Amino acid sequence: MCVRLGFIGTGDLGADHVRRCANIISGATVSALYNRTQSRAEDVAQQFAPEAQVTATPEELIESPLVDAVVISSASQTHEDLVLKAIQAGKYVFCEKPLATTAEGCERILHAESAAGKRLVQVGFMRVYDEGYLNLKSLIDTKAIGTVLMAHAAHRNPTSGPHYTREMLMSETLIHDVNTFHWLLGESFIAAQVLYPRSTSKADAALQDPQLVILETERGVLIDVEVFVNCQFGYDVQCALIGESGEIRLPKPARATLRQNGQNHTAITMGCKERFEAAYDRELQAFVDGVAAAKLTGPDSWAGYVASATTDACIRAQKSGKREDIRLIPQPDVYR
């Protein structure tokens, strides 16, 4: 089966997904594109999929008989509505994070998918396909360091955009780390707290950056995550877990070391597309394979809900300065 994909959102990451599915992913073809600025979709189609249809609306793409499954990479505030429409149409859908901008929005998706009677949604948490994180997961699952007691992480970007807000540190950036630890540890979170170190002069005056987030899991694991979106030097993610009998750390990406003129130099990636290129390939291949088999295996809507419920609590903690509780609804049977 060749899965015919329709892409909603052909910006920077969306266009990269079109390229990936046109040139790298097996068992897929790019059949339709939509972007709010139609000329952008036309340019991407011309570059990667000249025979693809450019639709006038996202609804036209979702309902098209030429589309078997939908890939959503549009603005975050559009995700919930588009995912719900894809579910209503009975189409499989890959949605970049966040699944919705609030936990309540994710709940509506959970209810719709449960009513459909099967999983139709995969959420774009690509780290679960990264070789380094997969190695961490294997070591945790085999009790290589015994019971995990605590963890440290960092999520750094060189710069943030002009419209980046304090809340986006949680809903757009930290959300990856939240999902990562939910997956690594196999447990959800019960509380969150946000602390404010001295702010960098490189950030917009209205943006307190960096921030330190403390998460507490169901079994008492404490996790601190540094979120720093104007670090200047590069894109850098770090992860370390401390157990009863050892420590495991996320390995650095393989990069050549240049020794020259009295210096020892290793380049640092400047963005997530470069750092997680192979993981992006694997997650889209898994989605296509899942559609072909009528059985998705990647991060599901429940994972998207847990992540959003947790980052919602982090946003409350930003404002209150207090430890905020995290309460989840019961997990629907379709995700068990």
Query: The CATH number of the domain where 19 resides is what?
Result: 3.40.50.720
Residues 45-52, mean pLDDT to the nearest whole number: 98
Burial of 126 (0-12, 13-18, 19+ CB in 10 A): buried
pLDDT at residue 120, rounded to an integer: 99
| Same domain (yes/no): 269, 283 | no
Residues 192 and 242 grouped into a single domain:
yes
State residue 242's pLDDT score. Answer: 99
Q: Nearest-CA neighbor of 103 among 242, 250, 296, 309?
A: 309
Query: Which CATH number characterizes residue 212's domain?
Result: 3.30.360.10
Same domain flag for 121 and 257: no
Same domain flag for 190 and 320: yes
pLDDT tens for 217-273 read 999 999 999 999 999 999 999 999 999 999 999 988 877 888 888 988 888 899 999
Domain count, the chain: 2
Which DSSP helix (H) or strand (E) runs through 310?
A: helix 301-320
pTM greater than 0.85: yes
Q: Please, what is the Cα angle at 286 between 283 and 291, to 5 degrees?
A: 130
pLDDT at res. 253: 81
Tens-place pLDDT, residues 172-203: 999 999 999 999 999 999 999 999 999 999 99
Supply the range of the domain harboring residue 164.
128-274+307-335
Distance CA 167, CA 312 (A): 9
Specify which residues 212 forms β-bridges with.
Answer: 195, 226
